[in-house]
Amino acid sequence: MQRVLIIDDDQTFAETAQRAFEREGFEATFECSPNSAIAKASSWQPEFVLLDLNLGESSGLSLLPKLIHILGPTAKIVILTGYSSIATAVEATRLGAHDYLCKPTKLRDILTCFTGKKSSEPEIPDQPPSVERVKWEHIQRVLQEHDGNVSATARALNMHRRTLQRILAKKPVAR
């Protein structure tokens, strides 16, 4: 039986995902903190990992290289996030993530990432992204370039730090 480790700071989501994977025939468990996730990955050795990008005070991107080191290059690690941006997707891929998905997503999309069995071709949007979405993506890219430092990002964007903090506190702009 294949194993899935779910790493998400939202315990309700993690429990729901665990039950869904178990219904699909996987052996699944979850961890809500980075330290316990590393310990579980070391002892349990899952084939698949579903990793949340935002783990409270920590980032899934900082946990990703540690997981790859522990599990090896054959483990399929999928980043799942409610705060998607091109910058974090590129960084996750560069660090070795198998795939990157935006919340909300369906279980079959996650399974497709794990198993590689595509049900259909990806949809190409009818409209280009809005100006607000392009702005959000640019801010995320500059934030990533400055290793998450809000003050340095604000200086690079020539904006006040508190203004940037207010923008970052909002949910991402829809496409």
For residues 142 and 111, membership in a common domain is answered with no
Helices 131-145 and 161-169 sit at what angle, rounded to 10 degrees?
Answer: 110
Tell me, what's the pLDDT at 123?
64
Cβ–Cβ < 8 Å for 93, 102: no
20-63 pLDDT tens trace: 999 999 999 999 999 999 999 999 999 999 999 988 788 899 99
Same domain, 69 and 105: yes
| Together in a domain, 111 and 139 | no
- Helix 131-145 and helix 150-157: axis angle, to 10°? 120
Does one domain contain both 48 and 75? yes
Q: Is residue 58 part of a domain?
A: yes
**Averaged pLDDT score across all residues of the chain:** 87
Give residue 6's pLDDT: 96
Which backbone phi and psi does 101 adopt, to 5 degrees?
-125, 150
Domain of residue 153 covers: 131-169
Give me the CATH number covering residue 90. 3.40.50.2300
Name which of 19, 49, 22, 47 is nearest 37 in CA terms: 49
Least confident of 74-78, 95-99, 115-119: 115-119
Residue 150: pLDDT over 60? yes
Per-residue confidence band for 120, with pLDDT thresholds at 50, 70 and 90: low
Residue 41 or residue 120, greater confidence? 41
pLDDT of 129: 78
- Whether 95 and 136 map to the same domain: the answer is no
Question: How many domains does the chain contain in total?
Answer: 2
Which CATH number covers residue 149? 1.10.10.60
Q: pLDDT band at 119, cuts 50/70/90?
A: low
Cα–Cα distance list, 16 to 23, 24, 124, 165 (Å): 11, 13, 30, 31
Q: Is residue 72 part of a domain?
A: yes
Residue ending a domain, choose from 76, 91, 115: 115
Judgement on whether residues 12 and 49 belong to the same structural domain of the protein: yes
Does the predicted model carry a pTM greater than 0.75?
no
Position 123 in a domain: no
103 assigned to some structural domain: yes
pLDDT score for 151: 93
**175 within some domain:** no
Same domain? For 31 and 111 the reply is yes
Token duo for residue 22: 């178990």
The reply to whether 149 falls in a domain is: yes
